[in-house]
Amino acid sequence: QVQLQESGPGLVKPSETLSLTCTVSSGSISNYYWSWIRQPPGKGLEWIGYIYYSGSTNYSPSLKSRVTISVDTSKNQFSLKLSSVTAADTAVYYCARVYSAYDKFLDYWGQGTLVTVSS
Amino acid sequence: DIQMTQSPSSLSASVGDRVTITCRASQSIITYLNWYQQKPGKAPKLLIYAASSLQSGVPSRFSGSGSGTDFTLTISSLQPEDFATYYCQQSYSTPPITFGQGTRLGIK
């Protein structure tokens, strides 16, 4: 079955750019949407955005000005960049597969990676 | 954007109890409603999609119902491994994908 694994720095300084990569294994990245979701410590889930394998994207309105999601089909990976981070961006970041274009629920998730924003 | 509201925010129950969690959408989402279970330190896990369809591998004690704006997740007989936080999510009008605030199910 499909497996997802997040990777990237666990500590980012304020005002810098958070960068994470999600590697998809046991399945192709093609023909699906792929999403990033985050969860601040002790809080609920917040959708960040998603990308189609072809490269088209949609972002959360509250984060749109700071977020870029990209895809590399040759590596079966997609990535998240979040610029100008503050302590409020400290969270566990999850990548997930979107089931289909017609019903966007999340059927496979990565284990999550904690990113702390601190100097 | 469609807002999702769960109730209660937390509840306590005992093994063997029947438990119901409610999710309300700010407008009709037909049956584009999904439920996830999250245990501490773990990623959310899809339980139910399209309001009432059980994801493969999920025990049959979990069930979902509802349409329009009001939905329920029911656990027919609580097991020790069911103590977790549950989230609903609408997939009717995206973007954005929106989640409920979560319901924390604890042991009485």
Question: Pick from B32, B92, B97: which is nearest to B67 by CA?
Answer: B32
A55/A71 Cα distance (integer angstroms): 6
Beta-carbon separation of B43 and A112 below 8 A: yes
Residue with tokens 């349409």: B67
Instruction: Encode pLDDT of B8-62 as tens digits.
Output: 999 999 999 999 999 999 999 999 999 999 999 999 999 999 999 999 999 999 9
Integer angstrom CA distances of residue B79 from A13, A60, B16: 43, 36, 6
Chain B contact set for A111 (CB, 8 A): 42-43
Q: Where are the beta strands (DSSP E) in A26-101?
A: 33-39, 46-52, 57-59, 67-72, 77-82, 91-98
Beta-carbon separation of A46 and B99 below 8 A: yes
Peptide bond into B96 cis (omega under 30): yes
Nearest to A107 among B46, B87, B96 (CB): B46
A76: alpha, beta or left, given left = phi > 0 and alpha = psi -120 to 50?
A: left
Nearest to B46 among A104, A106, A111 (CB): A106
A78/A36 Cα distance (integer angstroms): 10
Instruction: Encode pLDDT of B45-58 as tens digits.
Output: 999 999 999 999 99
pLDDT value of position A75: 96
Residue A101 has pLDDT above 90, yes or no: no
Q: Does B56 touch chain A (CB under 8 A)?
A: no
Cβ within 8 Å of residue A93, ≥6 positions away? A6, A18, A20, A36, A37, A38, A48, A80, A112, A113, A114, A115
pLDDT value of position A80: 98
* Count of all residues that appear for chain B in the document: 108
Question: Closest Cα of chain B to A28: distance in Å?
Answer: 20
B82/B94 Cα distance (integer angstroms): 29
Residue B85 has pLDDT above 90, yes or no: yes
Instruction: Encode pLDDT of A48-74 as tens digits.
Output: 999 999 999 999 999 999 999 999 999
pLDDT value of position B93: 87
Chain B contact set for A105 (CB, 8 A): 34, 46, 49, 89, 91
Beta-carbon separation of A105 and B1 below 8 A: no
